[in-house]
Each structure stands twice: as C-alpha cells, then as structure tokens.
Amino acid sequence: MTITREEELWLLDPAQYHARGYPWDAWAKLRRDDPVHRIEQGFGGDFWAVTRHADIVACETNPDVFKNGPALTIGAETGGFRMLVNLDPPEHPQHRAVANPWFMPRSIEWVRQLAEEIVTETFDRAMERNGEVIDFQEDVANLVPTAVISAYLGAPREMWPKIVEWTNQIINANDPSVAGDQGTAALLMQATGAIMQVHGATFADRRANPKDDLMTALVQAEIDGKPLTDIELASWGIILTTAGHETSQSTFGMGVHTLLQHPDQLARLKADPSLLPRAIDEMLRYLSPAIHFLRTPDRDVEVGGKTIRAGEHMIMFYPSANRDEEVFENPDSFDIERNPNRHLAFGCGPHVCIGMHLAKLELRVMFEEFLARVEEIEPVGEPERVFTNSTGGFKRFPVRMRVKPKA
C-alpha cells in the first residue's frame, strides 16, 4: 500500500480537513506510486481516488462515459434536486446554454461597479474597527461575493445578510457546531428552503415584469418546447447562490493568509499590481478551494492503467492535480508570476465552472482594494478551517488590521 489507512480516510473525512487541512503528502505519494488508487470501506463507500492532472482532464472531457449523477460529492445531500452540476448529456448542455451567456466576460462587466461599491463599504466598516481583532473571513471575505451573486440574481438588498447566513449554513452543514441538535439534513432543508423562497419571489416578479437579466432568461427559457419547472428554477437558484460565492470567498480569505506567509510575494504584488491576474490564478492553483467531485463511468473503462467497472465511483482530487509535478515546475512553491498556469481550480471540459469569470472579477476587485487600503494586518492565532471534504476555506480567520481611507 502506498499510503496508510489513516491517510486514506483523511482523503475523505470532513473532520480531518477541518482539523488538519489538506493531505498534501498523501496526494504526492499517490501521484508517484498509485495515481488511481482504490479505497474500500471509506467515508460513505468504496471509491477510486484519481490524483493526476492528465487523468482528471481525461475524465472531465469525456462526459459520454464519465457521468456526474446522481451525486457530485461524497456524502452529498441533494434534497431531491437535479442541479446543473448533476446533469449529463443531452440535458446538461441544454440547461447550461440557458444561463451561459449571462456569465461570459462581456456580460458580467457591469458587475464590476457593484462589486467595487460593496468592497469599499466592507473595508470602510473594517476601518471603523482599526486596531481591534476582527474575523477577516466573516467580516470581510464572506460578504462581497454573496452580495454580488445575490444582486445578480435579483434578491432585494435587505435580504443579502440573510443569504450570507443561509449559504454559510449550507457550506458548513456537516459541522456539528453549526448543525447543532437539528442535524445536517434539517439544517440543509431549512437553509435551502429560505433561499428558494427569496428566489421564488424574484422568479414570480420576472414572469409579470420581465427585465434584461438572468432571472428573466431563466423563467422565459424553453427546453424541448417546455418552460423550466418550478423545481428546475429552484435548483438554478440554489446552485447559483451557493456555488456563486464559495470559490471567491474561500480564495480571498486563504489568499490573504498565504500572502502574509510569503511577505516577499506580497511586497512584489504591492509594488506591481499588474501582477494581480497571475497572482489570482496562482492562489487558485496553490490553494485549490474545490477539493473533489465524483464521476461514475457507465461502462468498464481504463483510467491511469486501472480498470474501473461500470458504476464504480471515482473521486477527482483537484488540489492533487494542481500540484502535479508533470505539469507544474516546483508545484509546492507559491509564485505569483507563474506562467503558464494550467490549474484545474474551476475544473475543465463541459462542466467547467459557469461562474469562473465572475469569480475572477470579484477576486480582482477585492484584492485591488486590499492592496490599496490595508496598511497593516497581522493574524491573531491560527485560522479555523471549514468542516467539509468538498471545499477548502476558512470558517474563521482572526486578524488585527489597519485600513486607510479610500483615496
């Protein structure tokens, strides 16, 4: 065996990610010795762990064989919804085509001004607490992406704080300290139901009062001559709300922490902000906020020299792919000028993240403000990681920070 049983379970267990972070050493051993590795009786069943960049790309770009449904992540609760991320051809391209135009670079440029306003307000509030200990993750990083996607989906501004609360409950639903006595399933039902109610009101309004926006496009869309059902619309609302902020808020919090651990890189970035686009891509590669997705072949197939039987689940570990020595020079080094950077933080192929360009825009606006206004920042203790095996990020990141007025 190339890795120990303890390491195998670490690959799968939310509690281990929460307590210990990513199993970088285990992934490195697997890439070297057993890149497609069988895990039996793991967290939630038997799986194949896929760890190399080339093998993951091969799976992602062949949806005719490697299926997304019924579950996308280990132990996932879908609540009966069939979301975009769970769909396979021919349904997937039909549904994705409805929203895809609204997430292209030219379609999201209007969001920049909104994001800048929200970022400015967020750092202004932080400035009022100069010298105090604040939670950078909760008080800064979480607020901007959720507000942006809420506005994009037409949610009333007064509901944005509640949507932040509900989406973070969904992300942290496996955390016993968040779920409490009601348990994960009940918390998910409660939080998703609340979000559905907000978006349901918006969908109803767009039916009566169409606008030139995404929500109108969804209610007016037809697939095979039929409009989207209420359940399909609700699924769109849930996936766009939760996935629409996760990467941005996780990368911003972890990215600031990483820059503080690499003061030379932070100094270079402050001296030359034109490096920011490459720096953001390097944070996405180095930090890899998306940990895994599942694929299930519908026929026997060979991957990385192993025969995967039809119906057997495969876990694609994106952080491992993003440290693959065959693709990246010095993969464990953080280099804000890395180029080229073929990271898989957003996946690839037909299921590449639909909100990729929006996430990068948000990150650029947030880091521009951070670099321009934060004069001093010092971590207070260690950050606390989220309690999940599907995404990385911080639950809490206490800092003492000094922010200057906006020029």
CATH of the domain at 49: 1.10.630.10
Position 307 in a domain: yes
Calculated CA dihedral for residues 25, 284, 86, 196, nearest 10 degrees:
120
Size of the chain in residues:
407
How many independent structural domains does the chain possess? 1
Position 391 in a domain: no
Position 394 in a domain: no
Position 388 in a domain: no
Q: How far apart are CA 69 and CA 296, in angstroms?
A: 8
Which range of residues forms the domain containing residue 34?
Answer: 5-382
Position 219 in a domain: yes
Position 392 in a domain: no
Calculated CA dihedral for residues 170, 175, 177, 180, nearest 10 degrees:
70
Helices (H), 209-229: 214-220
Query: What pLDDT tens digit does each residue of the chain (407 aa) get?
Result: 589 999 999 999 999 999 999 999 999 999 999 999 999 977 767 999 999 999 999 999 999 999 987 667 776 555 556 678 888 899 999 999 999 999 999 989 888 999 999 999 999 999 999 999 999 999 999 998 988 999 889 999 999 989 988 988 888 888 888 878 888 888 888 998 999 999 999 999 999 999 999 999 999 999 999 999 998 999 899 888 888 788 999 999 999 999 999 999 999 999 999 999 999 999 999 999 999 999 999 999 999 999 999 999 999 999 999 999 999 999 999 999 999 999 999 999 999 999 999 999 999 999 999 999 999 999 999 999 999 999 999 999 999 999 999 98
- In 157-253, DSSP assigns E strands to 222-223, 226-227
